[in-house]
Amino acid sequence: MEDDQIYRRRAEGIVSVYMTFPDEPTAARIVAELLDERLIACANLLPGARSFYRWEGEVQDEVEVVAFAKTLEARLGRVVARVRDLHPYDTPCIVALAVAGGFGGYLEWVREEAAS
């Protein structure tokens, strides 16, 4: 197998969307909606994240659930809009991270799933 098939240095057009949620049921519900609407290829939920931030002048210390969803950059606007519609926070954390590279087979799978 050629190195390019194993590892692609560039994963053009693929992004990982980092999001936080107040609890696992909320995160799972929203991720399921994104999957049902074929806006993302997949997502990982990481419960138990401890988040520190300032909100309305007060420092907050909250337990949240982190989600990483993989999708196409072309779908990012729709993903952000849909998460904002479904999310209980007024200002949800939704941050897209460019994917620099990875396993070629996986990257192609993300492209196929998110493009459908």
What is the full per-residue pLDDT of the chain (116 aa) written as tens digits? 455 566 666 688 999 999 999 999 999 999 999 999 999 999 999 999 999 999 999 999 999 999 999 999 999 999 999 999 999 999 999 999 999 889 988 999 999 999 87
Looking at residue 72, its pLDDT comes to: 96
Looking at residue 80, its pLDDT comes to: 98
DSSP string over 48-65: EEEEEEEETTEEEEEEEE
Cβ proximity of 71 and 40 under 8 Å: yes
Looking at residue 11, its pLDDT comes to: 80
Looking at residue 62, its pLDDT comes to: 96
Looking at residue 76, its pLDDT comes to: 97
Question: What angle (nearest 5°) sits at the alpha carbon of residue 67, between those of residues 64 and 71?
Answer: 160
